[in-house]
Chains A and B, each alone.
Chain A
Amino acid sequence: MSNGNTAISIDSIRLNSLEDLNTLRQNIIDKHDPNKPEVLICHGTGCIANGSVEVIDAFKKICADADIDAKIMPGIKATGCQGLCSKGPLVLIKPQGLFYQKVKASDVEDIIQKTIIKNEPVERLLYKDPKTGKPIKTEEEIPYYSLQKRVILKNIGKIDPTSIHDKIAVGGYQALAKALKTMTPEEVVTEVANSGLRGRGGAGFPTGRKWQGALKAVEKKGGPVYVVVNGDEGDPGAFMDCAIMEGDPHAVLEGLILGAYALGANKGYLYIRAEYPLAVKHLEMAMEQARAHGLLGDNILNSGFSFDAQINRGAGAFVCGESTALFTSIEGKAGTPRPKYVRSVEEGLWGNPTVLNNVETWANIPLIIKKGADWYSSIGTPKSTGTKVFCLVGKVNNVGLVEVPMGTPITKIVDEIGGGIPSGKPFKAVQTGGPSGGCIPNKLKDTPMDFDSLTDAGAMMGSGAMIVMDEHDCVVDIGRYFLRFLEEESCGKCIPCRLGLTKMREILDNFSAGKGKIEDIETLQSLAKAIQDGALCALGTSAPNPCLTTIKFFKDEYLAHINDQKCPAGVCKELITYSIDPDACTGCRSCARLCPENCITGKKKEPHVINADKCIRCGICLETCKFDAVQVN
């Protein structure tokens, strides 16, 4: 079943009550020696790409070969995403809590010799404070982590996601056992409604109200009712659902089972995009282990309540993240949306009442049931309760997963937690909500990240991607990028989306080629309005947002493209030229050697010249030059 990760073999001991679960939990905790060293290696997608699988193998091999006392022989665990992706592969050493970054397989010997055997930190692998350069030993002391409020992400990176026992040890399935024993389904729905939880997929619809709507529909027309997990995360720059499914699959599953109990559903679906194979694998393992423990399937914990779920993999269409398209896809048809004038809670899967929630929303449910609605609603703002997981990406020092209370200002996330942008200057803008969201300029950096404030600013929360931009990002180019993405991803059912987005993109293409006319801006806004009003689903109605917000906040930059045929950010190829500053050029020939068009000439140790007619503006010379001699005009 598992290749890289060795799962704890499934004990087919069926649990029959809350007491059974507590006994098992105590057994697991008792068996674990908290003083024994443990190595937690990040096995999230980012760290895997940076070589964490090799690091895991090296730990296993070296530990097996080295002469280590059994008392300090470390346990080795591959965990979910530990969060600070730009510094990966990450390794946490317990019990000291040492945080190592950018660990390579060649560093493992040192870690074992120094940290495990001699209990000393490996200085060079510690995180360094970007301002003072001082090494920081533990995760808790690193501002990136200490400034966050990790509730959903609490266990991700700390437990082995392929082990239900790891999850049970940290309190997994306690909420489910509590609800089955002490709460009626109605009380579960009321608790969720009172928590103020709003859907984390982007639109922010109150989850409790959605559930109540489904119950009313069932009352009116009868069952069956379905519960569905939307794991078709597809926004560029978003990977929080991926991290949750990969790193803490039981949290999603427990939330889903609780929802099923509350709504009286016996069947659930987890719709996960096919590009997330590790999430699919971990959820499959989680379901199998939960079934073996009597936490999923027939007569859960001997309560009389039965529920099972299955995984449906998306075939790669972005639009299938839209609820109705997702349903048609599960039903076995091409994933195209249908109008939502009759809501999905009334007519969803196969025309039956269906509750669809996002991965992160489901992961919130066990916390609400375990700790109560009052605890939950004390976090965040009155209208947007709880925390939100954001993916901080783009031109920012600390790229990774960030969880903060709702309502945290953008500047706190980008400048404090994210450590600002690499150049040290203020960021130019932040794109929230992916291709459906908007571009928020630096002057609005105090905007709180909650559903309503973002909508007021013309953007939207979306699923939680925050793409940070600096002065080298062109807003026209950003608009083109998102429109091109949605043009490709449009299902093509309705005309405004299928044909209108292409036209919008063509107008922006003209801007970036210096062929724009001033009246095109008005045309663009009128066409955008028609698409917002006319498109069938949210993919189309929200598609003009990035373009419209950039026009709203960065009109000068658009005018520079149109009136002066200039791209101030130096991105739009047809509007820029490269040249070499003769005073700064040392004649090292690096750029000339790499130029694919051979259009850089000059003698060694003498200033070089770029032939503008032959230059294709690929930017290789700019990236290569160590002396900042290449200039963009």
Chain B
Amino acid sequence: MIKFNINDTEVEVEPGCTVLEAARQYGIEIPTLCYHESVAPSGACRLCMVELKDGNWSKLVASCIYPAAEGINIYTETERVHNVRKWLFEMLLSKCPGSNEIKEMASKYGVTSTQFPIENTDEKCMLCGLCTRVCEEVVGLSAISIVDRGVHKKIGSPFLVPSDVCVACGCCVTICPTGAMSARIDAVRRTPDVTLTPLAL
């Protein structure tokens, strides 16, 4: 077993556990959007950043992917953590103003408005990649992937053409943390008249 400290309280977890998993076992809240236990963590949304301190030295790490290690000191509510979180929520509120899930989470952490410009009021997708990861890792199809690069990134099937590879299992819709995929799935599958499996509905 590995023993370390979160917010000055000792926790004990199995080897191979991440800091986020440890925190959740002990009921310590850390916000996440791109994390889901059924797929490998990717560390993309950065909401789960926590501060790792060693004496006067410290740095921020993504708890969803940082391995728990003997004796480390983790802090989940420091000024640096709050600064990153605040800005991330402001960015998310501007990019995904259509997502109630994001609005609710941001307001829980005290962010209700954004200084960033709002481009598309309906947009819900924050490109966390959970949909593509579940399609690759759990379903084993990779019917969808992240297309293009940087600010031009989007989720889609190859060449953005609806594809028969998609079996309409609905895993991507289920796992999507912002509700974006339910509106998008019909642009991915070639035969949209097939009813989605009950799981997704």
| Residues of chain A whose beta carbon lies under 8 Å from any beta carbon of chain B | 317, 334, 338-339, 341-342, 487-496, 498-500, 502-503, 506, 523, 526-527, 529-531, 533-536
Contact = CB atoms under 8 A, between A and B. Distances in A.
Contact of B83 (A494, A530, A536): A530
Contacts of B117: 506
Contacts of B60: 533-534
Interface string B69-105: 0000000000010011011100110110000000000
Nearest to B18: A341
Contacts of B62: 339, 536
Contacts of A491: 149-150
B46 interface: yes
Contacts of A531: 87
Contacts of B95: 499
Interface string B149-168: 11111000000000000000
A496 B148 CA distance: 18
Contact of A489 (B80, B92, B150, B152): B150
16 contacts: A334-B146, A339-B62, A490-B149, A492-B151, A494-B44, A494-B46, A495-B91, A495-B126, A496-B91, A498-B151, A499-B91, A503-B115, A526-B87, A530-B83, A533-B83, A534-B87
Given A488-B150, A489-B150, A530-B86, A496 B46 contact: yes
B80 A533 contact: yes
A196 to B, nearest CB: 23
Nearest to A540: B46
B17 interface: no
Interface string B51-79: 00000000111100111000000000000
A534 B43 contact: no
Contacts of B91: 495-496, 499-500, 503
Top 3 A-B residue pairs of the complex, sorted by shortest distance between their CB atoms: A530-B87, A534-B84, A499-B91
Interface residues of B, number: 36
Contacts of B92: 495
A535 B59 CA distance: 12
B88 A490 contact: no
A359 B126 CA distance: 37
A523 B87 CA distance: 10
Contacts of A338: 42-43
A426 to B, nearest CB: 38
A232 B46 CA distance: 27
Given A339-B43, A534-B49, A527 B87 contact: yes
Contacts of B187: none
A487 B149 CA distance: 11
Contacts of B45: 494-495
A334 B86 CA distance: 30
A529 B83 contact: yes
A499 B151 CA distance: 7
B67 A487 contact: no
A339 B64 CA distance: 11
Nearest to B91: A499
B11 interface: no
A442 B8 CA distance: 46
Nearest to A531: B87
A221 to B, nearest CB: 14
A530 B149 contact: no
A293 B43 CA distance: 47
Nearest to B126: A495
Given A500-B91, A536-B44, 9 more contacts: A338-B42, A338-B43, A339-B43, A488-B150, A490-B151, A492-B148, A503-B91, A530-B87, A533-B84
B109 interface: no
A488 B148 CA distance: 12
Contact of B87 (A500, A502, A536): A500
B42 to A, nearest CB: 8
Contacts of B26: none
B149 A317 contact: yes
Q: Which has the most chain B C-beta neighbours within 10 Å: A489, A490, A503? A: A503
B50 to A, nearest CB: 11
B137 to A, nearest CB: 14
B87 A339 contact: no
Given A499-B91, A533-B49, A535-B46, A492 B153 contact: yes
Contacts of A490: 149-151
A533 B49 CA distance: 9
Contacts of B129: 493
Contacts of A506: 117
B196 interface: no
Contact of A341 (B61, B83, B84, B116): B61
A496 B126 CA distance: 12
A496 B87 contact: yes
A535 B87 CA distance: 12
A531 B90 CA distance: 13
A527 B114 CA distance: 13
Contacts of A499: 91, 94-95, 116, 151
B66 to A, nearest CB: 5
B127 interface: yes
Contacts of A533: 49, 59-60, 80, 83-84
Interface in B111-161: 115-117, 126-127, 129, 146, 148-153
Nearest to B89: A495
Contacts of A498: 127, 150-151, 153
Q: Which has the most chain A C-beta neighbours within 10 Å: B46, B115, B151? A: B46
Contacts of B66: 339, 341
A500 B148 CA distance: 19
Nearest to A488: B150
A62 to B, nearest CB: 50
A259 to B, nearest CB: 28
B114 to A, nearest CB: 10
Nearest to B81: A533
B118 to A, nearest CB: 12
B89 to A, nearest CB: 10
Given A338-B43, A339-B43, A492 B150 contact: yes
